[in-house]
Amino acid sequence: MGKIDISEFHDITKFISENKNILWNLSPKELIDHTLKLKMGNLTDNGALAIDTGKFTGRSPKDRFIVKDNTTLKSVDWGIINQPIDEKNYQSLKSGLLNYLKNKIIYGRNAHACADPKFQLNIRLISEYPWSNLFGYNMFLRPEEGEFKKTSNEWTILCAPGFKSKEPKKYGINEENFSIINFTERVILIGGTGYTGEIKKGIFSVLNFILPKKNQVLSMHCSANSGVNGDTALFFGLSGTGKTTLSADPSRKLIGDDEHGWSKNTIFNFEGGCYAKCINLSKESEPDIFAAIKQGALLENIILKKNNEVDFEDSSKTENTRVSYPIYHIKNIAQPSLGKSPKNIFFLTADAFGVLPPISKLTTNQAMYHFISGYTSKIAGTEEGIIEPQATFSACFGAPFMPLHPTVYAKMLGKKMDEENVKVWLINTGWSGGEYGEGERISLKYTRAIINDVINNLTDFNFTEHPIFKLNMPNKCKNVPTEILNPINTWKDKNKYMLQSKKLAALFHSNFTKVKSSVNQKSDINLTQLKNITLGGPKI
């Protein structure tokens, strides 16, 4: 990066106000035209813009940092996820990035986060590339003309994929790329990576720090929809568990597909768009998402066939092919993106061990336990070296974006469950009748029927307790074969099922032991509560 004069362009506000090279609030068509003119993308046969994000086709969690200062010192749950960077190094990188951008034609956008006006966050996105700015148009809330007004609650994102640190270790980072959040300055720096998800998840991390602390709003990595009577359902889950798929229900209005806040009596979308994986996407499997890929949508790292037709099955660049589009590309949406407090919450897990039931009802302590755990599994073949199912735990189903200790969010969830009589269900969208490679994946048709049964109160449930996980498993469910509801019934070798259950239970315990060991002044749960939550886990 060379020697840096940290006094020049140190003030971002001054840089923005005096910079005549910023093209502000261009329309999607204008941004697409700029991208094509710069030879940075291609139009697909359905009018969407296809681009490559470069070296990075996903987030780089090892290169994400938070400035450690008086604002964050005692609040952030520091560790391998929330890595600290000191103020001096941040200022040096910021100055270098601003110097890099100062003589370039760049793109500015005014936007919002949070559909509930009470919690609105103003955003200024300054991007080196026009398609990064199109992503901001798609994913953030779009203010009406004259609606955007400067407030103290304003954040700036500086996104420069072409700016790479030549001496990363000198500036307290690991590689040439970085994503840094400064909560005091209200700035997000993104350098050296074109992956647009860094923009979206940067603001999500900001809201996950601000809203619980100041407003007692539970910030959540989940999708949400509502029925004709205004009943809201939330869907939590890591990648591949069906969060986006199951929330896209033609009989219910989509509130949002990924990030939400839960205030006293309202669920509100943080975003103004959707960012969906599109590997193996088809009109038959995902009709709403498929139809949303049209003019204005931004496709990332996909392969084009002849005549610029998208090959959704080709993963030669990455398994993480993506599309962003404004939420109005979906027909059946809530307008504005708000709903009442949820009646039902679904924790989705793709259990490749074949152990967990397709549906179980959770007590408050069990819900907090599984929320803190955030379990799903990786399967053989998805990553090099994986030859059997591997358990993956991500606290609150979104650990990379949670600056506070996971128990802060878990306590808020438990309190809201009890105060508002919310039901929480664990849904296994993974395997049954054996682990991955032996059993079969639970039919999406059955999972949809289960969700529909719960939401519409089609069955008066009675339950059987799972012998290891102590989960309350319904004995019947409308339009679902009774024999699959208790997973041991689907295994030929019952002893093997019990051994597999105990194996997974031990992995849960090992993960939760790490959580318990980190409970300190940053936690929001006392030792008695922690003991009760621990009882919500499986038996050894």
Give the pLDDT confidence of 246-288 residue by residue, as tens digits.
Answer: 998 889 999 999 999 999 999 999 999 999 989 999 998 888 8
Cα–Cα separations (whole angstroms), residue 523 to 85, 221, 377, 395, 404: 22, 20, 27, 13, 8
pLDDT at 146: 64
Active site positions, annotated: 59, 201, 221, 239, 243-244, 258, 322
In the prediction, which pLDDT does 66 show?
A: 98
pLDDT at 493: 97
The answer on pLDDT for 42 being more than 70 is yes
Question: What integer pLDDT is reported at residue 8 of this predicted model?
Answer: 47
Span 175-181, mean pLDDT? 97
Q: DSSP for 120-132, please give it.
A: -EEEEEEESSHHH
Q: Where do the structural domains in the chain lie, given as residue ranges? A: 12-42+60-215, 218-262+341-534, 275-329
275-329 falls under which CATH superfamily?
Answer: Phosphoenolpyruvate Carboxykinase, domain 2 (2.170.8.10)
Rounded CA separation 73/514 (Å): 21
CA distances from 450 to 31, 213, 226, 497 (A): 43, 35, 17, 23
Average pLDDT of the segment spanning 228-235: 95
Q: What would the mean pLDDT of 152-170 be, rounded to a whole number? A: 92
> Using an 8 Å Cβ cutoff, are 359 and 425 in contact?
yes
The whole-number pLDDT of residue 240 equals 81
pLDDT > 90? residue 496 = yes
Give the residue carrying structure tokens 């597909």. 257
If pLDDT is split at 50, 70 and 90, which confidence band does 147 have? low
Give 378-382's long-range contacts (Cβ < 8 A, gap of 24+).
378/352, 379/352, 379/436, 380/436, 380/437, 382/319
pTM: 0.93
**pLDDT in the model for residue 538:** 95
The rounded percent of the chain whose pLDDT value lies above 90 is 83
Would you state the pLDDT for residue 3? 44
pLDDT attached to residue 368: 97
CATH topology assigned to domain 218-262+341-534: Phosphoenolpyruvate Carboxykinase; domain 3 (3.90.228)
Which DSSP category does 140 fall into? S
Find the range with the poorest average confidence among 133-137, 150-154, 349-353: 150-154
pLDDT-derived band at 384 (thresholds 50, 70, 90) equals very low
Q: Which pLDDT value is given to residue 74?
A: 92
pLDDT exceeds cutoff 80 at 7:
no
Pick among 3.40.449.10, 3.30.1360.120, 2.60.40.10, 3.30.930.10: CATH of 12-42+60-215: 3.40.449.10
- pLDDT higher than 90, residue 224: yes
Give the pLDDT of residue 458: 87
In this prediction, residue 379 carries a pLDDT of 63
Q: 149 pLDDT band (50/70/90 cuts)?
A: low
Q: Per-residue pLDDT tens for 182-212?
A: 999 999 999 999 999 999 999 999 999 999 9
Residue type, 525: I
The whole-number pLDDT of residue 536 equals 94
pLDDT in tens, 422-467: 999 999 999 999 999 899 999 999 999 999 999 999 889 999 999 9
- Contact 393/373 with Cβ under 8 angstroms? yes
